[in-house]
Amino acid sequence: MENKDDIRLLDSKQLEEFFVGENQKKFRVNQVFDWLWNKGVDSFSQMSNLSDNLRNVLDKNFVLKKPIEIKSYRSTDGTIKYSIKLYDKNYIEAVLIPTGKRVTACISSQAGCSLDCKFCATSRLIRKRNLFFYEIFDQLFYLNEQSKFYFNRKISNIVFMGMGEPLLNHKNVVKAIKKMKMENGLNFSARKITISTSGIPKGIKQIADENLNCNLAVSLHSAIQKTRQIIMPFSDKFPLEDLIESLKYWYTVTKKKILYEYIIFDGINDNIEHIDALIKICKILPSKVNFIEYNPIGDETFRQCKVEKLRLYQKYLSSEGIVNTFRVSRGRDIKAACGQLINSNKEIL
């Protein structure tokens, strides 16, 4: 890869200044931005309404660091996983999930992961680096084209639930979301975008201040600190008290309900003590709970709870007026379900 910056690192003012310095017209900025953020071109040569001279100028000074290879894998349930080889040969994965009238894009924010959640295969990967905002955007753009091809409709929902912790790359995540929302681009609604975090208090406060109007999901799994540390060891540095304080700030600023994501593990958090603790936390702020099916990753310490324990949780939460749902895993057979993203498939779609 040549030692040139991706042109998408420049905002409109910076690109305008560059054009003026090259004796080019300022209005070219809008044309170039349309090619970059609306049409998603892979090279400057595709910018057909620019002169040969200007395309050569752009090619001389900049580059488009697009993925160099994308492989896809299709589940029996219709879910499609994409293994994406980035320009520097690092890998990420993204998932397209069709359900009824919705198509959800699950996208990554890091190559690898910074955390150590014991139930998650992705946490076993070394965090190579944060993704640039344009690499996050590229996932959505590509998956949106795939959604139109396979399902005859654009993506309806976006979830930052792929590889990595979004709030440990919050600046690039914010920039990517702003690009996703651009009216003269993909024009996605912020109300259909969910940022999922394992619980980084500082990051939650930062994202609240960005005025993105997105949704927030918190990977909780236990409302008892000592149990949560067994499931998610990193959380010893981010105690529940700090997490709740940051969520109070989130709600004060955004007025948006919090979604708690929760896996019930057999023999770990499947008793009444944990149910009572979850109810207590849910009553602090407007919230709802999404129970997630556990997807085994070879660690016998963690097993899916018995059905009656899930029903017990739901019975108690519902009796307290706490909205809760159970999400069945999608794409498990291609290792595309929650906690399975690790670049490990071989069968190509």
Catalytic residues: 93, 338
DSSP collapsed to 3 states, the chain:
CCCCCEHHHCCHHHHHHHHHHCCCCCCHHHHHHHHHHCCCCCCHHHCCCCCHHHHHHHHHHCECCCCCEEEEEECCCCCEEEEEECCCCCEEEEEEEEECCEEEEECCCEECECCCCCCCHHHHCECCEECCHHHHHHHHHHHHHHHHHHHCCCCCEEEECCCCCHHHHHHHHHHHHHHHHCCCCCCCCHHHEEEEECCCHHHHHHHHCCCCCCEEEEECCCCCHHHHHHHCHHHHHCCHHHHHHHHHHHHHHHCCCEEEEECCECCCCCCHHHHHHHHHHHCCCCEEEEEECCCCCCCCCCCECCHHHHHHHHHHHHHCCCCEEEECCCCHHHCCCCCCCCCCCCCCC
CB 111 within 8 A of CB 129: yes
Which residues, 6+ apart, have CB-to-CB distance to 163 below 8 Å?
A: 92, 93, 108, 109, 110, 111, 112, 113, 122, 125, 341
Cross-strand pairs, 55 = none
Backbone angles phi, psi at 93, to 5 degrees: -130, 150
